[in-house]
Amino acid sequence: MTFPFNFFTAAFAGALVTSLLSLPLWRQWCLRTQLVDDPGHRKIHHTPIPLAGGLAVLTGILLPLMVGALLLKLDIVKVTAANAIVHGLDRRGLELFVLALGAVAITLLGWLDDKHELKALPKFLGQIIIAIAVAAACKRITLFVHSEVFSYAITILWLLTVINAFNFMDNMNGLCAGLGAIGAFFFALIAAAHGEYLVAITGCLMCGALVGFLPWNFPHARAFLGDAGSHLVGYLLAVMAILPHFYTKQNPRPFAVLSPLLVLAIPLLDLAQVTVFRTLRGQPFWIGDTNHVSHRLVAWGLNRRQAVLLLWLVAVILGALAGWP
């Protein structure tokens, strides 16, 4: 079967254009509803910035996905490997519906936090409920341990960890969105190489939507992802790390389980180090500060743009290692 480059390219381009063009509309809506990030402590902007990024990225993912699925199901367009993709939609339709519903739910949870500044406990409970639903409806992590309780626990823990890692990582213009786009690209690449076309399409959609958002956020921000966007990025990358078969009998890579950790190494290591640092200082780990990896790079002499570009570069190198045969 011929590799469906055309479909992946269409998914990426459709998401990019949708996100890029929908953002001004979401930006105006955010300004009207006062969904903005006001200047304040630890912030460098001097005027309110609309928290429109997450809504635009979600639009950029879901709208092309629904249009593409409809066109394929109705057999309106002909693309390479269309039969395989339609078969996957039929076979994993419920799973995909739950994952899409989870994406909407996690974005709404982040939106509530953006709007009302939720306390840590209700926000964490919301994350747990969504993680449980995803673990119950979709494929779970096993780590070769034959225990359903273990697979539920480790899957929920993984989802919560990655969601919050990207939430913490949203501390400089372009950082969270750029790392999210890079992670989505490499997950799409790995999944496509193993014939996991639906996962690859999801990665292409996410990568395109984030790339469409970046001109509005980097290097100078006219919109932020907000908690809605950082939650969505973390959720989707956590899911994409679960769905592909990194280890199979046909491709028995000895360190296959390390691939998702390499792709997501920067946000995971950043989460670990700030959590340890804050705990040792006797402060709650969810209270923000300026001890992230990005802030340390700035303290060592880089400007903010250079720090973000360096972390993007490291993410690309680690992603390439994750996909190495």
- Is it true that the peptide bond before 219 is cis, omega within 30 degrees of 0? yes
The answer to whether the predicted template modeling score (pTM) of the entire model surpasses 0.85 is yes
pLDDT of residue 16: 98
pLDDT of residue 76: 63
pLDDT of residue 69: 76
What's the Rg (C-alpha) of the chain? 19
pLDDT of residue 325: 59
Q: Along the chain (325 residues), what's the average pLDDT of each consecutive run of 10 residues?
A: 73 96 97 89 75 97 88 64 60 78 96 93 96 89 85 96 96 96 95 83 95 96 96 96 64 68 96 92 84 94 97 97 75
DSSP 116-145: H---HHHHHHHHHHHHHHHHHHS----TT-
pLDDT of residue 232: 98
Distance from C-alpha of 225 to C-alpha of 213, rounded to nearest angstrom: 9
pLDDT of residue 243: 80
Q: Give, as one character, the DSSP assignment of residue 46.
A: S
Q: List b or e across 135-170, with b for residues whose CB sees 16 or more CB atoms inside 10 angstroms.
A: bebbbbbeeeeeeeeebbebbbebbbbbbbbbbbbb
Beta-strand relationship, 49-50 and 36-37: antiparallel
191 and 244 in contact (C-beta within 8 Å)? Answer: yes
